[in-house]
Amino acid sequence: MSPGATGKPPAPDSPWMRVSIDEVVIEVTARPGASRRGVIGVTADRLVIGVNSRPEKGKANDELIEYLAHEMRVPRSALLIVRGETSRRKTIRIVTHEPTRVSSRLHQILKRH
């Protein structure tokens, strides 16, 4: 039986990620102006992601959302910056009917870095 089938959210397994029945919330530190786009690493409580764009007129936020949507294989509209729009420290909500799959993708991406 899958975790979603029981009606209970999967257990959280990372301090930077909260998984519930219909969403995954991640804590991110963005690194605008990075030479390489993608996961740079992880701190005690945040996933660190580099983007090439400078933090001007939302360009870095757009690139961050685009990157995450592509890597999670979800539409951009499924991602929302719920806190930290103008800060490097962001809370991002990923709305999905498959939170376990999204959580697994995040861990796969982290292993690749």
Q: What are the tens digits of pLDDT across the range 56-109?
A: 899 999 999 999 999 999 999 999 999 999 999 999 999 999 999 999 999 888
Domains of the chain with bracketed CATH: 12-112 (3.30.1200.10)
pLDDT of amino acid 13: 67
For residue 58, what is the DSSP state? T
pTM, full prediction: 0.85
Q: Write out the two tokens for 23.
A: 């969403």
Q: Write the CA distances from 43 to 40, 67, 83, 92, integer angstroms.
A: 10, 19, 18, 16
**Beta-bridge partner residues of 40:** none
Q: What Rg value do the Cα atoms of the chain yield, rounded? A: 14
Q: Write out the two tokens for 65.
A: 């959302």
**Count of alpha carbons within 13 angstroms of residue 37, beta-carbon side:** 15
